[in-house]
Structure 1
Amino acid sequence: MTKTLITLAVTALLAGCSLAPTYERPAAPVTPAWPQGDAYQPTAASTADGKQAYDVQWREFIADEQLEKLVELALANNRDLRVSILNIEAARAQYGVQRADRVPGLNASVGQTAQRVPDNLSATGDGYITRQYTAGLGIPAFELDFFGRVKNLSEAALQQYLGTEEARRSQQISLVAEVANAWLTLAADQERLRLAQDTLKSQQISYELSKRRFEAGATSGLDMYEAQTSVETARSDVAVYTAQVAADQNALALLAGAPVPAELLPQGTLQPVTQLADLPAGLPSDVLQRRPDVLVAERTLQANNANIGVARAAFFPSISLTASAGAMSSDLSNLFKAGADTWSFMPQLNLPIFAGGRNQANLDLAKANRDIAVAQYEKAIQSAFREVSDALAQRGTLDERVASQAALVEASGKSYRIHEQRYQKGAESYLNALVSQRTLYAAQQTYISARLAKASNQVTLYKVLGGGWQ
């Protein structure tokens, strides 16, 4: 062990080396291809113009002008994003502090020292005052970084700063996705509210017809009460979705960080508002390593790797230099005259001999933190792979789901119209028409949910692929 330390010390003195391990990016712990199977669509290499999904900037991704303006409002006012930006400023300042330690400082000083000698200590028996004036330039204790301690501290601070940059980018991508999803949810709930209102109007007409027939003695009260249950159900749904639309608008205002102008809200119809390029070709690891949250994990790993170099440097001597040069005189008028110059030079060597195991414990801690960061980086890759795989599975089945639900709405509508006509002609009771109406209403609600899921899936893919953010 002693011979190894001596060898490293000599090498460091000659080369001014860093004792941090050479950084190597860990292998991505995911399969070498995107998932395949019945739930997944074949992946394309790129779009017609050669852009891949993660290269699409948010302004290209958002196809609706109203939503684009709303995203701009959120990017300017959202408080979570503002905190991320301020965190970058703090990390940049911390990096500046660490980087400043790599160059010697220079201080200027001007001073006076005055002292009164008492009568009983004076050779003449009379007290007197002595004065001393100084002026000069000085270099405070500056560490000669033979073993890379200061360099690695600066490197760790740099990686932390870059990590906050990536965190802000991740926050911005998430904000774009959240605003888009909230906007789509509001549009879907507006459509559900309108469907409930239309259903209420329709059922009120049927109820009035049943009521007149009952009052005329043409039918029993059963048809009237069954029609009334449909009316009250629709009335309840109108109240529920009215409140939900208001809650959706409040959610948008929170994301935007400011009141949302009415002209930027959806107009009651759920429609496609985004456009996403095809899934990028290449290995999952190549794509996922572009995600900002994965890059944050890697920056943390690199910072912990540099901290190992800091801990290793504690085993070796450290040399600091303090120097000053200037002038000194007992008379201010003679301070800058010939013969008043003075200087001092104070090199200091600190050699660690015994620290009770502190240095070794710090090195073990640095290595453990590095290993933890490796595991966190690998987990970030695995989580990202899972998120993309889930989104791709949804993407591969949503078209069939939407088409099936549209066909169900059409078939349910035809069934309801037939039973409604038969009821109005007196050919059957209102029960069959009521069952058909409820089936149609449920199918229409589910159809809205399926279309919302398809639109939201586009947003999710944009986010989990680390979509463009500028």
Structure 2
Amino acid sequence: MRDSFSLRASCMARHTALALALLTLAGCSFIPAYERPAAPVPAQWPAQAAAAPEAGQPPGAALPWQDFVQDERLRALVAQALEHNRDLRVAALAIEQARAQYQIRGADRAPTVNLGATGSRQTTSGDSIGSAYTAGLMVASWEIDFFGRLARLQEAALAQYLATAEARRAVQTSLVAAVANAWLGLQSDEEMLALTRSTLQSREASLKLVQMRNAHGVASALDVRQAESLVAAAQAALAQQERQRALDLNALTLLLGQTPAPGLLPAGGAPDAVFAELPVGLPSDLLTHRADIRQAEQNLLAANANIGAARAAFFPRISLTASAGTASKALSGLFAGGSWGWSLAPQALLPIFDAGRNQANLESAQAGRAIAVAQYEKAIQTAFREVADALAGRATLGEQLRAQQAQAVAEAERLRLADLRYSTGVASYLDVLDAQRSLFAAQQALAQVRMAQRQNQVLLYKALGGGWALPPGE
């Protein structure tokens, strides 16, 4: 009697220990503890590119694009692009798709109740035929998420949904910068067109003067041909610049998703687009404001959750099949009184042999997490490089612009003196031609540096992660 009691007590203790172990495992998430990887970049921007930020100064990325873009026409074009651009529309629809996937993962954790009816006929002993009919509510193979496998998959889907939302913000940042750059390109086109037309008029006037001098025997036929060559070169440059403007206008139209209104386009001689000054902040601010970095971190969180789901697959998968309704051996008695019944069939499956499938899934999830870490670190390094490049441009383009302006002034004076010397017969027309070519090249370079300086402001704003934050109160 005592041995029997001891045996029962021992079995109960083992069963209790097993139940406690299962409960303990069920309370584990199996997800590795998440720690944000250290940013693989310096804590300060390169010394030659930026000064130390002022204490308490918010980074430029916190400035909404509506405040950064201070030209009313450009602001209106950006608003049109945000409403009609197809790339941004696709990114927004991708968010809806990711949200639906997250809802599907959430629905996997709840039972699916169906209204169904079944019927079967089969032979029994004695060659008699038996029938069975049921109708009612049915739950088919509902997995009870005892070890959190489905919960981890839902967490991964949530992180992927949030990553998609960050991707949409990254597209918006790029779109704001692209529209601003396209508008600045058109502004530069107008400036170059005005310069080329002015140069063409000046060269045509010079050609007429040389032709008159040649008719009076003062200038040679060589001078006439050289003047004609310069006029033809200016005409070719004008045609090229008109083509470039048409291409830039087409690019802006694609970004906007519709044809821009003529009143919103920059005109010849229009003032430069005005952008707000940008405080840079610290490299660590990029982790908060760069949408692509935030997207990479969400992908890392999703990969981390997938490891938890892969680990949970090693433990029993518990499912439940149940039904409640009416049952009868005859179809006519299916809804008769007293035919109500129910069934409950729990099932627990513990993987014993799967040819290494679960282990391979776990290793794949771990490799996916390592890839996500590398992509996250690469996103940070890329962002750091882009900001450093923009800061280097801000530090040097201003000086380059001043030098280019001085060169253009010097070349204009050189042309005046060469033309004066040629008119008095002191110098040959070759000096005038060389001065005209040099002045045109210097003026073109000045326009290009001026555009590069304006576009560098946009590049810095994009690199800092601005362009998607809403203004306060919206």
Contact 1:184 1:270 in 2 (8 A): no
Greater mean deviation of Cα atoms: 336-345 or 232-241: 336-345
- Please report how far the alpha carbon of residue 143 of structure 1 lies from its aligned counterpart in structure 2 after TM superposition: 1.6
Are residue 65 (structure 1) and residue 64 (structure 2) matched?
no
Identity of matched residues, %:
49
Are residue 10 (structure 1) and residue 25 (structure 2) matched?
no
Q: Alignment length, in residue pairs?
A: 451
Equivalent residue number for residue 40 of structure 2: 29
Q: How does 1:340-355 map to 2 (within 5 A)?
A: 340-355=339-354
Contact 2:186 2:245 in 1 (8 A): yes
Are residue 54 (structure 1) and residue 61 (structure 2) matched?
yes
Q: 1:62 to 1:361 in 2, by over 3 A?
A: same
Equivalent residue number for residue 190 of structure 1: 190
Q: 1:451 to 1:349 in 2, by over 3 A?
A: same
Contact 2:84 2:258 in 1 (8 A): yes
1:242-263 C-alpha deviation (Å, 9 max, x unpaired): 1111111111111112222222
Q: 1:31 to 1:331 in 2, by over 3 A?
A: same
1:180 maps to amino acid: A
1:265-284 C-alpha deviation (Å, 9 max, x unpaired): 111246432424433333x1
**Matches of 1:30 and 1:112 in 2, distance apart?**
65
Equivalent residue number for residue 363 of structure 1: 362
Contact 1:270 1:452 in 2 (8 A): no
**Matches of 1:312 and 1:114 in 2, distance apart?**
41
1:101-126 C-alpha deviation (Å, 9 max, x unpaired): 122222233x3648699xx977xxxx
**Matches of 1:276 and 1:323 in 2, distance apart?**
66
**Matches of 2:286 and 2:279 in 1, distance apart?**
10
**Matches of 1:53 and 1:180 in 2, distance apart?**
17
Contact 2:278 2:461 in 1 (8 A): no
Q: How does 1:175-186 map to 2 (within 5 A)?
A: 175-186=175-186
2:95 maps to amino acid: I
- Please report how far the alpha carbon of residue 20 of structure 1 lies from its aligned counterpart in structure 2 after TM superposition: 1.2
1:157 maps to amino acid: A
* Helix, strand or coil at the partner of 1:162: helix
Contact 1:138 1:325 in 2 (8 A): yes
Are residue 420 (structure 1) and residue 427 (structure 2) matched?
no
1:341-389 C-alpha deviation (Å, 9 max, x unpaired): 2000000010111122222121111111111111111111111111111
- Please report how far the alpha carbon of residue 327 of structure 1 lies from its aligned counterpart in structure 2 after TM superposition: 2.1
1:294 maps to amino acid: I
1:53 maps to amino acid: G
- Please report how far the alpha carbon of residue 131 of structure 1 lies from its aligned counterpart in structure 2 after TM superposition: 7.7
Equivalent residue number for residue 42 of structure 1: 51
* Helix, strand or coil at the partner of 2:315: coil
Contact 1:52 1:277 in 2 (8 A): no
Equivalent residue number for residue 215 of structure 1: 215
- Please report how far the alpha carbon of residue 29 of structure 1 lies from its aligned counterpart in structure 2 after TM superposition: 0.5
Equivalent residue number for residue 403 of structure 1: 402
**Matches of 1:208 and 1:197 in 2, distance apart?**
17
* Helix, strand or coil at the partner of 1:202: helix
Contact 1:320 1:347 in 2 (8 A): yes
Are residue 174 (structure 1) and residue 174 (structure 2) matched?
yes
Equivalent residue number for residue 203 of structure 1: 203
- Per the normalisation by structure 2, the TM-score is 0.89
2:64 maps to amino acid: Q
1:45-99 C-alpha deviation (Å, 9 max, x unpaired): 389xx65300111111111111112112222222221221221121111111111
Contact 1:420 1:433 in 2 (8 A): yes
Equivalent residue number for residue 226 of structure 1: 226
Which consecutive residues of structure 2, in runs of 5 or more, have no partner in the other structure? 1-16
Contact 1:288 1:466 in 2 (8 A): no
Equivalent residue number for residue 113 of structure 2: 106
Contact 1:294 1:377 in 2 (8 A): yes
